[in-house]
Structure 1
Amino acid sequence: MSGVIGDPTPVTPELLRATPLPRHRQGDDKDGRGRVLVVAGSVEVPGAALLCGIGALRAGAGKLQMATCRSVAPHLGMAAPEALVAGLDETPGGGISAEEADKLAKRAGRCDALLLGPGMADGDGEAAALTKRVLERMDPGPVVVLDAAALPDLEDGPAALRRHSGRVVLTPHAGEMAKLLGVPKEEVEADPLGAGRRAAGALGAVVAMKGGCTFVVDPGGAAWSCDLGQVGLATSGSGDTLAGLVAGLAARGASPVEATVWGVFLHAEAGNRLARTRGPVGFLARELLAEVPSIMAGLGPAEPG
C-alpha cells in the first residue's frame, strides 16, 4: 500500500479493494493463515487478552496463543477454547513479571505476529521492562504490535525497536501518544496527524493515531485517514479489539501498513453496523468482532475463484 506525504489518503472500500488482503486456498492448513501470540492482561483486567485474541481470529489468523498472568490463565483458556493459553509469573501488583521475557521471546520468534500490552498492569514499570526485554531478545521477523502499557517513549524506544525495523505497529490514543512524545495531551489533540508523524518517524514504526478520525502513518510520513467510526466505539475494550484485528491481519501476511489500514476500517465499519442494529451507543466491544468476517467478505473474496 503506497501513500504520499501531504494530505492523508482517505480509507475507503475502493482503496481496500485495490489493496486486497492475502488470499488463502482451499486445503491450506491453519499454519498457512498465520500464528499470533498475544501477551496481555493482568489480574485486574484479564479480559483484554480475550478481546485481542478473538480479534486476531476474527481477522482470519489460523493459530492463536495467549500469555497472561498465571492466576487468570485457566479462566482465559475456558473463555477461549480456540487458543493455547500460557500462564506467566506475576508481580505483586498483579501484572506479568519481566522475568518471563526470555520465555516470551522464544514463543514470539515462532509466530508471525506478536501483540503486546493491552490490559497489562504497569504501576511498577514492569510492563515497560518486559516489553523492552522481549524486543531485545526475540528473533526479528514477526510483526510486532504494541499497545497500551507496551507503548515505548522517545527516550529509549528507538533502541529496542531498531532490531525490528519495518515490522512494528503502534496503536496509541491521545493520552498514550502524549506520554510517548512527552507533551501535553492537548497538544496531541490539537494536531493528531502531526503527532502520529513525529512518533512514526522517530521510532521507525507504523502508527495508528486513534481518535474520532484515526490517522495511520508510516515511518516516511505517508498517511491515511479514517473518519468512518462513530461515538459508540468510544467504549471499554474497543482499542483491544482493534489491536487484535491488526495483529491477526499481519499474521496472515499483510504488511504492517496494510494490516493497520485494514484493521482501522474493519473496526470502524463494525461499529457502524452495530450502531444501525443496536443503537449509536451501548453496544459492547466484544460485539464488534462478530461483524468483521462479513465485512471482509464484502470487500473481496477470501478464497481464489
Structure 2
Amino acid sequence: MGSPVRALTRSTLRRWPLPDPGNEADKETRGQVLVVAGSPEIPGAAILAGEAALRAGAGKLMIAAPREIAQGLALAVPEARVIGLPQARNGDLDAAGAQKLLQPLAAGVRALVVGPGMQDEARCVRLVNSLLPAFRHAPVLLDAMAMCAARDSSAFSQPVILTPHAGEMANLCGMTKEEVAADPLAAVRGAADAFNACVALKGAQTYVCLPGQPAWRFDGGSPGLATSGSGDALAGLIGGLAARGLSVEGACAWGVTLHARAGHALARRMGPLGYLARELSHEVPAQLRMLGDGSH
C-alpha cells in the first residue's frame, strides 16, 4: 500500500488537475451543486456553503432549506435557485416531504452537499438515507448532522465524502475526542475503511483518506480558520469542486488547500484572528488563479 501518509502541498495538487471548461463553456459545463442545509436557528450555514460552491467555480447552485427561511436565503444568494422544504409542526424538517421535492432534481445535479446548519439528527439521517439512491451518480458530501448517517448504516456503496472535526469523528467511530487527537491518522484511515468513504478529518493538521489508500496530511492551516461557519464554507468548496468534475479525493485535497490559503490571505490583511467565515469564499477565485486553475 506504500507510505501511510503523504504531504498535501501545492505541488502534489498536480495529481488532480482541475477540469478546464474552455472559453466556450457555459454554466452547465461547470456543473450544478445542490446544497441541502440550514435550520431556523442557523440559516446562514446554507449561505456560507452555497456561496463557497460558486466561488470554487461551479456553474449553478440550488439551495434547499426549511420553508420558513427560504425567502431570506433567496434574497441573500440571488445567484441560487432556492427550494423551500416542508417542515413539521414543531418547525423541524419534514424528511419525507423534502425527499419528494428533491429526488426529481437529482438528474441535473453533479454534486450534493447535505448537513451544514441542520440540527435535528434523526430527521437529517432519514433525509440522507432517502436521497442517497437518487444521487448515486453524483458525489455526496455529508457534513455536521448528516454524517450520522454513516454511523447508523453499513458502508456506503457510492462516492461519499465525510468532513468531521475531531469531536464529530469521535462520535462517528465510538472513540473519545482525546483518542482521535492522539492518533488522527489511525482515526481517519479507520473511518475511511469502515464507511467506504473519502474522509477529511479537520484540525490543525487535516487528513484526507480514501478506503485502503495512504492518507494525505495538510499542514498549512491557521488558527483563524477555527471559527463559526468555517466548516460550512469548506463543505461548499469541496462540493463546488466535485461538481466541476474532480474525484472525491481531488475535491477534498483542493478544497482543504483553498480553504487554508484563503485564511492565510485574510490573516495577512486583517490579522491572524477575527476574520469571518463569510469572508473566506471571497478569497477563493484569486487562490484558484495563483494555483493554476484549469492547468493540466
- TM-score band, normalised by shorter chain: over 0.9
Deviations 1:233-287 (A, max 9, x none): 0000000000000000000000000000000000011111111101000000011
The aligned counterpart of 2:106 is: 108
Q: CA deviation at 1:208?
A: 0.1
Q: 1:117 pairs with 115, 118, 121, which one?
A: 115
SS in 1 for 2:216: strand
The 8 Å contact of residues 188 and 207 in structure 2, kept in 1 or not, is answered as yes
The separation in 1 between residues aligned to 2:2 and 2:38, in whole angstroms, is 36
Give the direction of change, closer, same or farther, for the CA distance of 1:93–1:212 in structure 2 (3 Å limit): farther
**Letter of the 2:12 counterpart:** L
Q: 1:36 pairs with 24, 27, 33, which one?
A: 33
Q: 2:211 pairs with 219, 231, 234, which one?
A: 219
Q: CA deviation at 1:6?
A: 2.9
Q: CA deviation at 1:106?
A: 2.6
Deviations 1:113-147 (A, max 9, x none): 00000100115x21111111211x41411110000
Q: Count how many residue pairs are aligned between Structure 1 and Structure 2.
A: 295
SS in 2 for 1:115: strand
The separation in 1 between residues aligned to 2:177 and 2:90, in whole angstroms, is 27
After the TM superposition, which of the residue ranges 57-66 and 185-194 deviates more from structure 2? 185-194
SS in 2 for 1:131: helix
**Letter of the 1:205 counterpart:** A
Q: Gapped runs of 5+ residues in structure 1?
A: none
Q: 2:271 pairs with 268, 279, 282, which one?
A: 279
**Letter of the 1:255 counterpart:** S
The separation in 2 between residues aligned to 1:154 and 1:302, in whole angstroms, is 33
Q: 1:157 pairs with 153, 159, 162, which one?
A: 153
Residue 56, structure 1, aligned to residue 66, structure 2: no
The separation in 2 between residues aligned to 1:249 and 1:284, in whole angstroms, is 22
After the TM superposition, which of the residue ranges 76-85 and 126-135 deviates more from structure 2? 126-135
Residue 294, structure 1, aligned to residue 286, structure 2: yes
For 1:56-95, list aligned pairs within 5 A. Answer: 56-95=53-92
The separation in 1 between residues aligned to 2:176 and 2:295, in whole angstroms, is 47
Q: Which runs of 4+ in 1 moved over 6 A?
A: none
Give the RMSD, CA atoms, in angstroms.
1.6
Q: CA deviation at 1:18?
A: 4.6
The 8 Å contact of residues 233 and 281 in structure 2, kept in 1 or not, is answered as yes
Q: CA deviation at 1:93?
A: 4.6
Q: 2:197 pairs with 205, 221, 233, which one?
A: 205
The 8 Å contact of residues 10 and 224 in structure 1, kept in 2 or not, is answered as yes
SS in 2 for 1:207: strand
For 1:236-251, list aligned pairs within 5 A. Answer: 236-251=228-243
Q: TM-score, normalised by structure 1?
A: 0.92
Q: CA deviation at 1:303?
A: 7.6
Q: CA deviation at 1:88?
A: 0.5
The 8 Å contact of residues 109 and 142 in structure 1, kept in 2 or not, is answered as no
Residue 175, structure 1, aligned to residue 172, structure 2: no
Q: CA deviation at 1:28?
A: 0.8
Q: 2:134 pairs with 138, 141, 146, which one?
A: 138
After the TM superposition, which of the residue ranges 173-182 and 246-255 deviates more from structure 2? 173-182
Residue 98, structure 1, aligned to residue 95, structure 2: yes
The 8 Å contact of residues 201 and 207 in structure 2, kept in 1 or not, is answered as yes
The separation in 1 between residues aligned to 2:137 and 2:188, in whole angstroms, is 24
The separation in 1 between residues aligned to 2:192 and 2:129, in whole angstroms, is 18
The separation in 2 between residues aligned to 1:246 and 1:40, in whole angstroms, is 15
Q: TM-score, normalised by structure 2?
A: 0.95
